[in-house]
Amino acid sequence: MNPDRPRGILAPTAPDSPGAAHRLIRTGCAASARGQHAKAFENFAKAAATGNGEGQFRLGLMYARGEGVVGNLGDAAVWFRRAAEQGHGEAQHQLSLVYLHGGQADGGAPTWYDRAAAVDKDIADRNRELMFPNGIAVPPDPAEALRWCRAAAEQGVAPAQATLALLYAKGLGCEIDYLEARRWYAAAAEQGNPVGELGLGVIFANGFGVEIDLPTAASWYEKAAAKGNADAQTALALMCDAAQGVPRDPARAASLFQQAAERGDVRARYHLAVHLLAGDGVPQNLVMAETHLRQAARMGHAAAKLALARMHASGHGATPSQVEAALWYRAAADAGEAEAQFVLGALFARGEGVPKRLEDAARWFERAAEQGHLAAQFNIAVFYLNGTGVERDPAQAASWYARAAERGMVMAQTKLAQLYLAGDGVPPDHQAAAGWLQRAAEAGDAEAETVLATLHLHGTAVERDAAMAERLFRRAADRGYGPAFLQLGHYYAEDRGAGTNQPEAIRCYRAAAEAGVVAAQWIVAHNSLAGAWGPRDAATAASWFRRAAEAGHAGAQFQLGVMHCTGEGVPRDLAEGTAWYRRAAEQGERIAQYNLAVMLLRGEGTARDLDAARQWYEKAAAQGMPEAQTALGDLYAAGIGVPADLDAAHRWYETAGSQGHEAAQAKLAALRGPRLVAEAEPLQVRLGS
């Protein structure tokens, strides 16, 4: 910007008289008031050309506003500076604002340039230099802003005094100095300036350089609010809502929010909607509440967008719609609202109102977590630990668990401890694990109590203390935590030198099973079938096997298949039995794979399928099951479902025989003689749990 090159103005002339310049200015002001901006510009330009400071100032305003001339902040700054250098206080203040905010005028020169550059940038650049030698934008310069603002403030320009106070309060162009800020706010307030009064309210409300004094803050807000300052009205309304510095008065708060909303204050519009939703201080009006929220949302208010999302999600005050709710959650999330980002992540994880996309769920959880959202930090840790929606990264999981744990989230403390115990994502550190478990257990977390009890039981990083372990298991069990009942069952079933306590062990195992602990359901089912806890009860066993099977326990699925195929404890149903074999087989249960192959080979409970039978035999055989290996030898020896291949049969018999399988050894020995292929039978025994 070249201050020596004013644009579109006659060369300076000596004024005929000070009165002539003043008449030009009065004529220009009158024309401006009538909306005749071109005429106003002409008069101000003539006055400015004589060197008149007021004319220069008003000409600068015309350029800044784009009235009667193409708007251009660069030219505005030139004329503000000329007037400011003559000591014109308002020009000094306007120049300080130009330097404080920088930028460019709305529309005018910037709009022309953007359109021209889109056609031919080189020509646009040359024309810009020719037409706008002072440039079309002004870079921010806080130091210059401070210098010119102080000059205006020292002349008693009240708005400049308030602006100068703000610069000191925020440390713009200077170090933060609350004493100076308060001094200049007070100077402005003494002249009745509402921004100065508002500033003093902020100073006392927040304790900036003074002791917090809410009643004094409220009194200053009151003065500014009475003058129509929307920020002060909103601040005072919030104090009325919270009973800070003034008695709680929701009706007055709502009235102040209404006044501020009418002046365009978006925060006030949001809070007014909250009052209307709750009927707090005003009659409840859900329709008007939604209207104000939508208006605030359109103005970019993130909390209003979140409130609209909740209204549509709950149907309270708006049409229930998961899709509409998701749209508003997305809008609030894009605006940086952490809670909305968290909820949007949950919606993507569940597929509610949006397609189920775990990658998007992880992305939104992480964005909320980065803003300090506690539940989001926990969720993204779970995603990283399990590789859900992101590549598995236990180190990242540990980092997020740690951030949540350090903020007191007990579930995160327990999970972090488990990572330290396992050395997953962090170096193994049993001492650190015990420390986190202790903190979580003291906060009443049943899982932490249970894990800490196992450490005491084995003396891992804590004193070996079976009595303490029992107490911790009991505490967790009393909270209804199923795994604690399971551990108590193990505890009482083991002889620790004073015998076992089978009745209590059985009671605890049953309690754990009822609580949905799958391992306990398997134990109860197995012992009911074996008659280990009393009379053998196949029907009860089948019931518990079914509960565990439906929860995904492969062993229970296999056993339930056996029971349906044999009719033990349940009606005999080969199709049902085969279906359970298949579910267990798909989880890698090798005996189930073998039995499924047998059923497919025979066509029992399912359509006969020799190729599928061979494939399931191969899966079981690959897990080292000699019966399956022998069955494959039989298929190749007899050419059942495969081309006859004695070499392949030899290999499979040899593989099974090397494990001591007598039938395979006999078939291997007889391979060159007459062959009789024995039909495979399903197995009904499963080892292990």
Q: Mean pLDDT over residues 316-342, rounded?
A: 94
Best CA proximity match to 436, nearest among 456, 462, 410: 410
CA–CA gap between residue 597 and residue 586 (Å, rounded): 12
CA–CA gap between residue 506 and residue 504 (Å, rounded): 5
CA–CA gap between residue 424 and residue 404 (Å, rounded): 17
Report residue 654 as tokens: 């040899």
- pLDDT of residue 318 exceeding 90: no
What pLDDT is recorded for position 319? 86
What pLDDT is recorded for position 136? 64
* φ, ψ for residue 370, nearest 5 deg: -65, -20
Measured CA distances, 518 to 514, 548, 551 (Å): 9, 5, 7
What pLDDT is recorded for position 19? 85
What pLDDT is recorded for position 498? 82
CA–CA gap between residue 569 and residue 310 (Å, rounded): 50
CA–CA gap between residue 24 and residue 44 (Å, rounded): 7
- pLDDT of residue 564 exceeding 60: yes
Helix, strand, coil abundance in the chain, percent, nearest 5: 70, 0, 30
In the chain, what percentage of residues exceed pLDDT 90?
Answer: 85
CA–CA gap between residue 349 and residue 367 (Å, rounded): 15
* φ, ψ for residue 681, nearest 5 deg: -115, 145
Best CA proximity match to 304, nearest among 273, 348, 346: 273
What pLDDT is recorded for position 8? 46
- For the full predicted model, state whether its pTM sits above 0.85: no
Strand partners, 138: 103
Per-residue three-class SS string for 104-129: CCCCHHHHHHHHHHHHCHHHHHHHHH
| DSSP letter string, 191-232 | TT-HHHHHHHHHHHHHTSSS---HHHHHHHHHHHHHTT-HHH
Report residue 574 as tokens: 């080969």
Q: How confident is the model at residue 75 (pLDDT cuts 50, 70, 90)?
A: confident
Which pLDDT tens digit goes with each residue over 219-237?
A: 999 999 999 999 999 999 9
- How high does pLDDT run on average in the chain? 92
What pLDDT is recorded for position 688? 40
Which pLDDT tens digit goes with each residue over 444-454?
A: 999 999 999 99
Which pLDDT tens digit goes with each residue over 334-393?
A: 999 999 999 999 999 999 999 999 999 999 999 999 999 999 999 999 999 999 999 999
What pLDDT is recorded for position 119? 79
What pLDDT is recorded for position 309? 95
Identify the structural domains of the chain with CATH numbers, from first to last: 393-515 (1.25.40.10)
Which pLDDT tens digit goes with each residue over 203-221?
A: 999 999 999 999 999 999 9
CA–CA gap between residue 281 and residue 254 (Å, rounded): 6
Structure-derived torsion over alpha carbons of residues 572, 604, 623, 523, reported in degrees to the nearest 10: -10
In the chain, what percentage of residues exceed pLDDT 70?
Answer: 91
Q: Report whether 79 contacts 57 (CB < 8 A).
A: yes
What pLDDT is recorded for position 72? 80
CA–CA gap between residue 668 and residue 446 (Å, rounded): 58
Report residue 419 as tokens: 């990572």
Measured CA distances, 294 to 266, 311, 319 (Å): 11, 11, 14
Rounded to 10°, the helix 230-242/266-278 angle is: 30
137: Cβ–Cβ under 8 A, 6 or more apart, which residues? 73, 74, 102, 103, 104, 110
> CA 74, 76, 82: angle at the middle one, nearest 5?
110
Count the residues in the chain: 689
Which pLDDT tens digit goes with each residue over 637-684?
A: 999 999 999 999 999 999 999 999 999 999 998 886 554 455 566 766
Burial of 1 by CB count in 10 Å (0-12 exposed, 13-18 middle, 19+ buried)? middle
- pLDDT of residue 12 exceeding 50: no
223: Cβ–Cβ under 8 A, 6 or more apart, which residues? 189, 194, 197, 232
Which pLDDT tens digit goes with each residue over 15-63?
A: 455 789 999 999 999 999 999 999 999 999 999 999 999 999 999 999 8
Sign of the CA dihedral running 586, 590, 596, 600: positive
CA–CA gap between residue 586 and residue 555 (Å, rounded): 12
Q: Mean pLDDT over residues 448-473, rounded?
A: 97
- pLDDT of residue 71 exceeding 90: no
> CA 344, 308, 256: angle at the middle one, nearest 5?
135
